[in-house]
Structure 1
Amino acid sequence: MLAFREAVKQNLAIELDIHLTRDGKVVVFHDESLKRICNAEGTVEDSTFDTLQHLHLSGTSEHMPLFSDVLRYVNGRVPLLIELKLPDSNMKLCPATWDILKDYKGPYMVQSFNSLGIRWFHKHAPQVLRGQLSSALTRTNPENPFLARFCVQFLLTNLICRPDFISYKLADAGNPSVWLNHYLYRIPMAVWTLRNQKAYKTARNKYDMYIFEGFSVK
């Protein structure tokens, strides 16, 4: 929660990632694996919330928070960009997330690499702004089917999932399909992740939104 407190203090929008635990709790955490941040084996999806509460984040006293607790803390003071972590075709995270969000009064948008999740919100909660995340996926994530990665990389799934914006990795944003979709559907474009002033200067006048970390844009 420390990063969220600092973002609220600086009046900056927050980008966060959410997962569904094995016992159906929606938690805020970036990685699928617990290894890098918690130095533990396994994944969030295969763990219970009680098990996760015994883990510390990056050697601090912080624990993995519930999504509902983060919403309660932010309380509409800054906008939220919520990434749905959907590692497969299981969409249970989507209704669980919507059940929490539907009474939240603050501004927010959702995004995901998994087009099925974007499609779910298009169908069941069309009032929620939705973004398709992507990058040069055919060069990464070999554990996922190549055809699925190809379709998301070149934004072919936009025909059915109908995103309200595109969120693309800055280094890969020269992909012609990105700009074709941007102009064809007339939707905003976000880029990620900016980590220095040079990247910020490149992005700020070219894209509609940007996600940054590790430095101040003020």
Structure 2
Amino acid sequence: MTNLPASFLARPIAHRGLHCAADGRAENSPAALNAAIAADYGIEIDVQLSSDATAMVFHDYHLGRLTSQTGALALHSAQALSEIILTGGQETIPSLEQTLALVAGRVPLLIEIKDQDGNMGGDVGPLEEAVAAALKSYDGDVAVMSFNPNAIAVFAALSPETPVGLVTDRFTATDWPTLSSNTREHLSEVSDFDRVGACFISHNHAQLDDQVVTDLKTQGVPILCWTVQSRADAVKAQTIADNITFDGYLA
């Protein structure tokens, strides 16, 4: 297990970069990342897989919310995606390699691998391979996390030098209606933490009083949290969490 660098606990982490649609900075866009770097925040980004197995920096599975296009991102090649303009500006969807070149180690970078299985299961591999390949020559502080423990297990085997963690939640039926009850119960227990070689979690900020968080914190595990959207919530979260991921205000 590789420990989480101290830089991830030293400054707030901007969720999908310091994005602001009104100012033309789309989520996960170069402009949002540059704004976060200028403000000396850490950065959290998301990655999805193109049809030709390239890791692309984009949160959603579908293009409709953040671009003028429709349909699944995974149906498009990296080249085609690189030509799709993000809503609210003139920038296009970046690849992970382009994003790494932009950040260039100036601030810590937290990468969330989006679940590709559909039910947090074991049908994973290509996206994890693409992320590991992109990170091979990256020198900055970086960590990788996912809601899907199987994704992290695969990635950790490919990139043992990279710190990995789990994104965690209570996984209620209301919030996760597509997951089976058995899967939701299993994930809520964070029982895969040791199996996948995790060294931190990022937990729902409204659920930091969960027993599993207390138990891990007692063991000295760094506790991050998602996604704080006000100063009041930040103050409350930081009574337990070691750091916050934020958006919608300046932390």
TM-score (norm 1): 0.91
Aligned to 1:33: 62
Q: Is the 8 A contact 2:208 2:237 kept in 1?
A: no
Q: Does 1:186 align with 2:215?
A: no
Q: Is the 8 A contact 1:34 1:40 kept in 2?
A: yes
TM alignment of 1:61-100, pairs within 5 A = 61-88=90-117, 89-100=123-134
Structure 1 residues 122-131 or 90-99, which shifts more? Answer: 122-131
Aligned to 2:45: 16
Identity %: 28
1:145 shift after superposition: 3.0
Higher RCO (CA-CA < 8 Å; seq separation 6+): 2
Q: Which of 91, 94, 106 pairs up with 2:140?
A: 106
Aligned to 1:115: 149
Return 5+ residue gaps in structure 2 as ranges. Answer: 1-29, 118-122
The number of equivalent residue pairs is 216
1:141 shift after superposition: 2.6
CA distance in 1, matches of 2:137, 2:79: 26
CA distance in 1, matches of 2:187, 2:242: 20
Q: Is the 8 A contact 2:208 2:241 kept in 1?
A: no
1:39 shift after superposition: 4.0
Aligned to 2:181: 146
Q: Does 1:132 align with 2:166?
A: yes
1:203 shift after superposition: 2.2
Aligned to 2:75: 46
CA distance in 1, matches of 2:194, 2:182: 16
Deviation per CA, 1:135-188: give whole Å up to 9, x if none.
Answer: 1223223223332222112212224213100111111222212222332x4311
Structure 1 residues 157-166 or 68-77, which shifts more? Answer: 157-166
Q: Is the 8 A contact 2:83 2:93 kept in 1?
A: no
Q: Sort the Cα spacing of 1:172 and 1:43 in 2 relative to 1 into closer, same or farther, 3 A.
A: farther
1:195 shift after superposition: 0.8
The structure with the largest helix share of the pair is 1
Return 5+ residue gaps in structure 1 as ranges. Answer: none
Q: Is the 8 A contact 2:62 2:71 kept in 1?
A: yes
Q: Which of 74, 83, 87 pairs up with 1:58?
A: 87
TM-score (norm 2): 0.80
Q: Is the 8 A contact 1:7 1:14 kept in 2?
A: yes
Q: Is the 8 A contact 1:135 1:173 kept in 2?
A: no
CA distance in 1, matches of 2:170, 2:72: 24
Aligned to 2:233: 199
Structure 1 residues 117-126 or 16-25, which shifts more? Answer: 117-126
RMSD over aligned CA atoms reads 1.7
Letter in 2 for 1:178: V
Q: Is the 8 A contact 2:164 2:198 kept in 1?
A: yes
